[in-house]
Each structure stands twice: as structure tokens, then as C-alpha cells.
């Protein structure tokens, strides 16, 4: 296998946080759910299309890469490939389905401001994503967003075909927010949109490595940027778990 792909997969293998089982199971109270979702929204959900635009703005004329980023950006900012709506808007509809108000997710100012009361690690992760998605080399910016941020701990199994993410009505009906927290399935368009388009996007994300040298200085920066993303993401998730009052169980 491409040695760079292997390094990136090794990073993705660790994109798991100890609090995840709590987040996908029953037992959280409303306050805990709100802390978690406010952070996710402010950290990368609301501005993900803009982060993609920052990366796309640096890509040299390699049509396949530009087209795949442009499609991803178009879907994230409009939802028109999946026939839904902008994904940040779909996220807010899901929050309304849980009984939260849009005001809970409003910025602390009218501009690019963040939701108030974020843990510092969330602001740091978010600021770093903004900076890095507009930084050189372009391959590191694209890998960070499309492989690390959009990808999951299941990348390796998904590429091998041994993990297939839930799709269709099943994906919604089995979603923890529907099963455990009473979110009506109609409010889960975000899951429907992701199930409709994201399988193809995962393939595109990894195919882009054809345009990155397998080793050498650029490959080093791509690998270390995604690894730094993981370190910052884990610090962010630790801090959110603390604010939610979750305690790590001894191994």
C-alpha cells in the first residue's frame, strides 16, 4: 500500500474517544446533550463548507481534485445533490427535533463569532482548522478536511469493504438520537443527506492521494498535519467530556 495512505489510516484508527460510547448510548440529560452539540456545531459543523472553500482555493489545476472538492462544497453548503438543504441548517433542524432552540446555537456576535461558553480547546481546534485549511501545501489542507475531519475510525474497514455504513431509512431509525432521545425521524435529514452522498465522498477523499507524493517533504507535512489534527481533536473531546461531567472509567 501507498506508505502515506498507511500512515493516514494509522491516524484514523485512533480517531476514537473514550466518551463516544456515552454519546451514542442512552442516559445523557438535556444539558449534557446541549454541551456536546453546541461544541460540534461551533467547532466544525457551521463552517465546514467555508473550510472546504479555503482548501479548494489553493488547489492547482488538477481537475479531478477540484471537481470532487467543488461537489463536496456544493452539497455541504446547499444540500442540492442530496435534495435536502445546507448541512449546517440540517444540523439545526436536528437540534430542533431534540427540543433545542436555534438561539442555543447563535453566535455571541452577529459576525463570524462563536457560540458562547465553549471550552478553550474547542476554540483552539476550530481556529487551527481555519488556519490550516488555508495553509500550504494544499495537499495537507485537503487531507485534513476530507480525510481527517470528514472521516471516522472506520476508514480502514470501510475501504476494505468490511464496514458498510447504515443507509436508507435504516440509518435514521437506528440513529441514537432517534432511538434514545426521541428525535422524530423527520428531523434527521442530515443523516439522510450523509447516507445519500458520503459513501462516494469517502472514496474521493482517498483517491486524491494519487496526487500526493508517497514520501518526501510534502508527504511528511500531510501525515503530520492529520496527526496534529488527531491530537487537537482528542484534547477538544476530552475538554467537552469534562464539561459534560463524563468520567473516564478505569481500564
Nearer to Fe ion, 87 or 192 (CB): 87
Nearer to Fe ion, 48 or 125 (CB): 48
Nearer to Fe ion, 87 or 132 (CB): 87
Closest CA to 9 of 124, 156, 121: 156
Nearest approach in angstroms of CB 59 to Fe ion is 20
Q: Which residues would be at the binding site for Fe ion (CB under 5 A)?
A: 87
CA distance linking residue 191 with residue 185, whole number of Å: 10
In the bound state, the residue with its beta carbon closest to Fe ion is 87
Which residues 6+ apart lie within 8 Å of 88 measured at CB?
41, 45, 46, 47, 48, 49
Peptide bond into 137 cis (omega under 30): yes
Nearer to Fe ion, 89 or 96 (CB): 89
Which residues 6+ apart lie within 8 Å of 14 measured at CB?
153, 230
Nearer to Fe ion, 130 or 242 (CB): 130
Euclidean distance between the first and the last CA atom of the chain, given in angstroms as a whole number: 33
Nearest approach in angstroms of CB 79 to Fe ion is 9
Nearest approach in angstroms of CB 208 to Fe ion is 18
Query: What's the Cα-to-Cα distance from 56 to each of 28, 144, 148, 195, 223, rounded to whole Å?
Result: 38, 12, 16, 23, 19
Interior angle at CA 178, CA 198 and CA 147, nearest 5: 25
Nearest approach in angstroms of CB 251 to Fe ion is 33
Nearer to Fe ion, 4 or 44 (CB): 44
Nearest approach in angstroms of CB 120 to Fe ion is 26
Nearest approach in angstroms of CB 15 to Fe ion is 17
CA distance linking residue 104 with residue 37, whole number of Å: 10
Amino acid at each position: 500500500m501507498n506508505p502515506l495512505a498507511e500512515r493516514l489510516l494509522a491516524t484514523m484508527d485512533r480517531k476514537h474517544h473514550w466518551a463516544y460510547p456515552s454519546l451514542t448510548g442512552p442516559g445523557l440529560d438535556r444539558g449534557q446533550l446541549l454541551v456536546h452539540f453546541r461544541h460540534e456545531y461551533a467547532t466544525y459543523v457551521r463552517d465546514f463548507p467555508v473550510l472546504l472553500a479555503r482548501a479548494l482555493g489553493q488547489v492547482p489545476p488538477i481537475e479531478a481534485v477540484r471537481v470532487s472538492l467543488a461537489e463536496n462544497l456544493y452539497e455541504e453548503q446547499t444540500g442540492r445533490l442530496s435534495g435536502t438543504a445546507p448541512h449546517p441548517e440540517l444540523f439545526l433542524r436536528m437540534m430542533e427535533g431534540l427540543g433545542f432552540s436555534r438561539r442555543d446555537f447563535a453566535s455571541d456576535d452577529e459576525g463570524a463569532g462563536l457560540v458562547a461558553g465553549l471550552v478553550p480547546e474547542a476554540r483552539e481546534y476550530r481556529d487551527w482548522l481555519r488556519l490550516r485549511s488555508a495553509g500550504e501545501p494544499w495537499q495537507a489542507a485537503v487531507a485534513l478536511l476530507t480525510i481527517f475531519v470528514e472521516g471516522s475510525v472506520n476508514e480502514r474497514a470501510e475501504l476494505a469493504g468490511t464496514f458498510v455504513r447504515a443507509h436508507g431509512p435504516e440509518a435514521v431509525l437506528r440513529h441514537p438520537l432517534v432511538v434514545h432521545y426521541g428525535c422524530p425521524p423527520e428531523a434527521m435529514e442530515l443523516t439522510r443527506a450523509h447516507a445519500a452522498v458520503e459513501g462516494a465522498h469517502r472514496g474521493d477523499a482517498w483517491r486524491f492521494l494519487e496526487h500526493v507524493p508517497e514520501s518526501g517533504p510534502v508527504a511528511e507535512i500531510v501525515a503530520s498535519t492529520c496527526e496534529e489534527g488527531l491530537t487537537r481533536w482528542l484534547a477538544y473531546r476530552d475538554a467537552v467530556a469534562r464539561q459534560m461531567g463524563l468520567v473516564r472509567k478505569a481500564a
